[in-house]
Amino acid sequence: MTKFGTAFRTALLVVTALFGAALAQGARAADSVTLVTDFGYNGRHAYFFVALDKGYYKEAGIDVKIVGGKGSVNAIRQVAAGNANFGFADAGSLVLSRANDSIPVKMVAVVYARPPQAIFCAAEAGLKTPKDLEGKSIANPAGGSIPDMFPAFAKAAGIDKAKVNWVVAASSALPGMLASGKVPCVGQFTVGEPLLRAQAAPKKLVRFAYSDPGLRYYGNGIIATEETIKSNPDLVRRFVAATIKGLKSAITNPAEAGAIMHKLHREVTVEVAKAETELVGELAQVKGKPLAEIDPAGIQATIDVVNGAFKLKSQVKADDVYAPGFVAK
């Protein structure tokens, strides 16, 4: 073979190898996953859509479909059933699901590092303190963390939980029920306050946050099944990293996040999405801790709060409900 022929063959082999590597990368980039939210599509979810719109998931080799959930319990069950690869759900609900139903789902990153649950009441109802909730009705969707964690709030705030009436209603119906006076109070996360105030206007609202009486526990984070965590940790790591990148971008520029959310879901206004993203930033950022990193002490505090408010079928340890190592230091 001539020197030219040898050189040509070598070049061809190099090109073939590079092409093969590109194909392999392309094949790996075909990971298709579904993420289920806690409740529908709201401004508080903007960072997921920032990661989608800016191509962070694509850069991580993931094709993500985001579907709207129907509560944290529903999200946990959808993930456990294999209908979604990842979910966004409440840590307290996760503890209850593990303890009472042995659902093998764990949290791999936390977004709400502080309690997000709250009850909002029409100011005209005259409620001044949490104790005033006794004898009143609170509307909230079924399967949500607000009624799940209410016994803990009631205990901390000195409320007789048996004297509070819960009314099941669709999330979209809550503002109208509050505005029309059908119920004096509704459940809502603190991050949902901008939308609720806008929809209930001109009525003024009073907020009773679960953190007010001193409760400290984790709220929502990213969840996956034990099987996914064990069999495909690289996928979990890439998904978490891309989501955190979107979260950092959204917190840094809430106005841009709001615009992206409105572009992809026209029913969510830019102003509300911006305001909700700002509130997400307040819940997510913990001084001295990497964004979204799970602290075992935070998980244990959540377990302790749940244990103090419920009679559980089985005891739960921290490593039963979270998996460490998926958030980069």
Q: What is the pLDDT of residues 300-311, one digit of tens each?
A: 999 999 998 888
Strand order across the beta sheet in which 185-189 lies = 165-168, 137-140, 185-189, 117-122, 205-209
Asked if residues 276 and 43 have their Cβ atoms less than 8 Å apart, the reply is yes
Task: Judge if 102 and 232 occupy the same domain.
Answer: yes
CA gyration radius, the chain: 23
Q: What is the pLDDT of residue 97?
A: 95
Q: Which residues fall within 8 angstroms of residue 309, CB to CB, at 6 or more apart?
A: 149, 151, 152, 154, 155
Structural domain range at position 240 = 31-114+217-321
Q: What is the pLDDT of residues 259-306, one digit of tens each?
A: 999 999 999 999 999 999 999 999 999 999 999 999 999 999 999 999
Is position 26 within any domain? no
CATH number of the domain encompassing residue 126 = 3.40.190.10
Task: Judge if 189 and 255 occupy the same domain.
Answer: no
Q: Which residues fall within 8 angstroms of residue 61, CB to CB, at 6 or more apart?
A: 25, 28, 29, 30, 31, 238
Q: What is the pLDDT of residues 9-35, one digit of tens each?
A: 654 554 455 455 444 444 555 699 999
Q: What is the pLDDT of residues 64-97, one digit of tens each?
A: 999 999 989 999 999 999 999 999 999 999 999 9
Q: What is the pLDDT of residue 329?
A: 82
How many Å apart are CA 320 and CA 95, to the nearest integer? Answer: 8
Task: Judge if 58 and 103 occupy the same domain.
Answer: yes
How many Å apart are CA 109 and CA 130, to the nearest integer? Answer: 31
Is position 304 within any domain? yes
Q: What is the pLDDT of residue 13?
A: 55
Task: Judge if 105 and 121 occupy the same domain.
Answer: no
Task: Judge if 198 and 134 occupy the same domain.
Answer: yes
- 181, 209, 237 - which closes a domain: 209
Is position 5 within any domain? no
Q: How many domains does the chain have?
A: 2
Nearest Cα residue to 52 out of 73, 77, 35:
35
Average pLDDT over residues 205-219: 95
Task: Judge if 238 and 292 occupy the same domain.
Answer: yes
Is the omega angle on the peptide bond into residue 202 within 30 degrees of 0, that is, cis? yes
How many Å apart are CA 57 and CA 60, to the nearest integer? Answer: 5
Nearest Cα residue to 320 out of 290, 300, 306, 305:
300
Task: Judge if 187 and 252 occupy the same domain.
Answer: no
Task: For residue 257, name the pLDDT band (cuts at 50, 70, 90).
Answer: very high
